[in-house]
Structure 1
Amino acid sequence: MDIHEYQAKNLLAKFGVAVPRGGIAYSPEQAAYRCQEIGGDRWVVKAQIHSGARGKAGGVRVCSSESEVLDAAEFMLGRKLVTHQTGPGGKLVGRLYVEEASDIAQEIYLGFVLDRTEERVVVVASAAGGMEIEQISEEHPDTLIRSVVDPAVGMEPFQAREIAFSLGLDAGMIPQAVKTIIGCYKAFRDLDATMVEINPLVVTGAGDIVALDAKMSFDDNALFRRPEISELRDKSQEDQRETYANDRGLNYIGLEGKIGCIVNGAGLAMATLDMIKMAGGEPANFLDVGGGASPERVLKSFRAVLNDPEVEAILVNIFAGINRCDWIAEGVVRAVQELELKIPLVVRLSGTNFEEGQKILDDSGLNIVTAGSLAEAADKVVSAWKAGA
């Protein structure tokens, strides 16, 4: 789960990370009022969407008067910002963050991620901040600093000092940098985060170290014990197809194709996507219906797939072990009847209770195409989709 910049800053501030003064605004008038609250003569208006590269899309503006803040807010609110991270559909701007402008003397990149290979939290830092980490690794690989945190002891002050000195900071700034690094690590650890990124972390003209931007992502599987984090979720920033499915306990990832997929098992689902592409089609989604799927769960899966208006055919591919083919078949028949399915449907069943499941499909009298293998199923669904396209 991702959260907005201002939410990440509020969380990090509780762990001792310095952030600029700012406030959230939902209207141009409220944005102007935030300027009066903050004070000063220069402010930054930032669109709050779950994406980087907002500045290149017009989502970040430096303003020198309240009228400029009003204009910036009028421009951003209600508009869809399109960045290379959002895709062509963009993301709707429903709120703004107005903060005091900072006097930037130096920009630093600081990130914390979970390295699943090493099973450790890894700190990645660079003195070439202000650009995406991919660009830093390509253009300034010599500036990258990588430090692995031992989970038995956590981030120690000496380790944070090593990172700070490697960034080339003046000796007088080291205590601030250590406080920031350890604060980020504690936020990562204590809140079940999967990523904390400050880009840029800036050194101001006055010698302060401030988090000018912040991103945080969290482990969905740990949200049950972090209600204060769950409340920060903004569903308007998520793929609505994925939100619908995930809220119903389905493992779903939306793609850009036309052929919907309902499969059990992540590995088989990936193989199914590959086979559809090899047959000349494009999958519309990844959906793992899970083990022990009941007819009701199969029906939910159909609803999730059909929630995507671009779907023009569906492939059900089940290799039953824990699952039972007769349960799957009952769910398929129920879905076709209740949802009045009009698009081509191909079903491939194999494994536990295969004969019973196949009989249910055959006796239903419905327009359901069956297949004996994954390759055959992929060929049939692509052919049916092309014939109806």
Structure 2
Amino acid sequence: MNLHEYQAKELLKKYNVPVQEGISADSVMAAEEAYRQIKSETNSKFAVIKAQIHAGGRGKGLIQGTEQHGVQVVKSAEEAAAVARNILGGVLVTKQTGAEGKKVNKIFVAKDAYYEGEHPVAEFYLSILLDRSKGQNVIMYSTEGGMDIEEVAEKTPEKIFKEWVYPGGGLMPYQAREIAFNLGLSGTAFKNCVKFVTNLYNAYIGTDASMLEINPLFKTSDDKIIAVDCKLNIDENALMRHPDIEALRDVTEEDPTEVEAGQYNLNFVKLDGNVGCMVNGAGLAMATMDMIKLSGGDPANFLDVGGTANAETVEAGFRIILKDPNVKAILINIFGGIVRCDRVAAGVIEAFNKLGNIEIPIIVRLQGTNAEEAKKLIDESGLKVQSAILLSEAADLVKKAVA
């Protein structure tokens, strides 16, 4: 589950991770008031308004149809109101959103972190995620923080440092010091960085995060180390332990069909192909997608209805798949182990009757317990549903459907 920057920062603060403070706003008036409040609390010359969407590259991204960037500096309440008016409700297009962009429903009015002081400021990069090849968490960091970290990784990979952390042991003090040393810090900044990295790793573990990225990790002119930006992804399988975090979910940032699928406990991911598929079991779903590809089609989705498929889940799956105008055929591939094939067949027939006239070809492959009875039910239903028992038969039917 993805979080917005302002939500992620609130979670980090619970683990004593210093962040760039700010106020979220969902209206022009709220943005103007947020600026005035920040101005009254600090002597800074400006504030920063940041569009809140689940995507990176906001600083270089543009609001569709304008020259307005997703991150802008403002120096007055009037300017804050004008920028908020241009951003809120607009569609922000970045490298990560694709051409369709994402609608901005909230902004974050942040305090100035670039105030003048005794020492030069510096921007770094730091992220924590699981390295599956090693079975350990890895902290990746670089002295080259900012908006072009992808370019740094591509052109100068030697500037990217990595520190692996054994999950059972946690981050060792010497590792936190190694990170601060490689970032070229000393004195107070060094000590603050060690504390920052230690607390940040605790936040990563404590929230059951799958990825935590700070870019930039910022050294202020008085040697404080703070998170100016934060991208935090939470492992959805661990949300049962974090009802407070689950409550932060913003469904407006997600694909509507994936949200609807979740309401029926369906595992659904939308893809760009032309053959919809409905399968029970993730492994079988992957094999089915491969088969569709080998048959000359392209999978339009990943849809796992689980081991207890019934008429309701089958109907919901049909309805979700049919919302995609690119789908030219639907393949239902069920292995009857826990669930009997004849029950699934009955569910398909019931769902088909409820949904009414479906013009595109429906191919149903049922194998396992009571597969022959299921095929007979479908063949005698009078519906325009093609049945198969062997995977090769289903593949041939898919090939004909998309030819």
Q: TM-score range by the shorter chain?
A: over 0.9
Question: What residue is the counterpart of 2:37 in the other structure?
Answer: 37
Cα displacement (A) at 1:232: 0.7
Q: TM-score, normalised by structure 1?
A: 0.94
Are 1:85 and 2:101 matched, yes or no? no
Question: What residue is the counterpart of 2:64 in the other structure?
Answer: none
Question: What residue is the counterpart of 1:325 in the other structure?
Answer: 341
Question: What residue is the counterpart of 2:14 in the other structure?
Answer: 14
8 Å Cα contact 1:253/1:285 also seen in 2: yes
Question: What residue is the counterpart of 1:361 in the other structure?
Answer: 378
Cα displacement (A) at 1:169: 1.2
8 Å Cα contact 1:326/1:353 also seen in 2: yes
- Cα distance between partner residues in 2 of 1:142 and 1:131: 18
Are 1:113 and 2:129 matched, yes or no? yes
Cα displacement (A) at 1:309: 4.3
8 Å Cα contact 2:375/2:388 also seen in 1: no
- Cα distance between partner residues in 1 of 2:302 and 2:335: 16
Question: What residue is the counterpart of 2:65 in the other structure?
Answer: none
Cα displacement (A) at 1:218: 0.7
8 Å Cα contact 1:21/1:38 also seen in 2: no
Cα displacement (A) at 1:101: 2.4
8 Å Cα contact 1:276/1:379 also seen in 2: no
8 Å Cα contact 1:113/1:121 also seen in 2: yes
8 Å Cα contact 2:371/2:389 also seen in 1: no
Are 1:348 and 2:359 matched, yes or no? no
Are 1:64 and 2:80 matched, yes or no? no
- Cα distance between partner residues in 2 of 1:49 and 1:98: 14
- Cα distance between partner residues in 1 of 2:325 and 2:109: 37
- Cα distance between partner residues in 1 of 2:236 and 2:261: 14
Cα displacement (A) at 1:133: 4.8
The 3 A distance-change label for structure 1 pair 280 and 255 is same
Question: What residue is the counterpart of 1:223 in the other structure?
Answer: 239
Question: What residue is the counterpart of 2:254 in the other structure?
Answer: 238
Letter in 2 for 1:258: N
Letter in 2 for 1:95: K
**1:74-223 residue pairs with structure 2 within 5 A?**
74-103=85-114, 105-131=121-147, 133-223=149-239
Residues 335-363 of structure 1: CA deviation (Å, up to 9, x unaligned): 11111133221111222211111011011
Out of 325, 335, 353, which is 1:337 matched to? 353
Residues 16-72 of structure 1: CA deviation (Å, up to 9, x unaligned): 221122101111121111111001321111000000011121211112222222221
Q: RMSD over aligned Cα, in angstroms?
A: 1.8
- Cα distance between partner residues in 1 of 2:327 and 2:184: 53
- Cα distance between partner residues in 1 of 2:178 and 2:386: 63
Letter in 2 for 1:47: A
8 Å Cα contact 2:292/2:395 also seen in 1: yes
Task: Structure 2: state its 5+ residue gaps.
Answer: 62-68, 115-119
Report the secondary structure of 1:256's partner residue: coil
Which deviates further from its counterpart, 375-384 or 230-239?
Answer: 375-384
Report the secondary structure of 1:56's partner residue: coil
Cα displacement (A) at 1:112: 0.8
Report the secondary structure of 2:272's partner residue: coil
- Cα distance between partner residues in 2 of 1:334 and 1:18: 57
Letter in 2 for 1:51: A
Letter in 2 for 1:76: I
Cα displacement (A) at 1:201: 0.4
Report the secondary structure of 1:55's partner residue: coil
- Cα distance between partner residues in 2 of 1:133 and 1:359: 59
Residues 100-136 of structure 1: CA deviation (Å, up to 9, x unaligned): 2221821111111122333322211111111455433
**1:246-285 residue pairs with structure 2 within 5 A?**
246-285=262-301
Question: What residue is the counterpart of 2:397 in the other structure?
Answer: 380
Question: What residue is the counterpart of 2:57 in the other structure?
Answer: 53
8 Å Cα contact 2:296/2:402 also seen in 1: no
Cα displacement (A) at 1:266: 1.9
Cα displacement (A) at 1:84: 2.5
The size of the alignment, in residue pairs, is 386
Letter in 1 for 2:113: S
Question: What residue is the counterpart of 2:117 in the other structure?
Answer: none
Report the secondary structure of 2:89's partner residue: coil
Out of 316, 339, 343, which is 1:300 matched to? 316
Letter in 2 for 1:166: N
Report the secondary structure of 1:122's partner residue: strand
Report the secondary structure of 2:268's partner residue: strand
Q: TM-score, normalised by structure 2?
A: 0.91
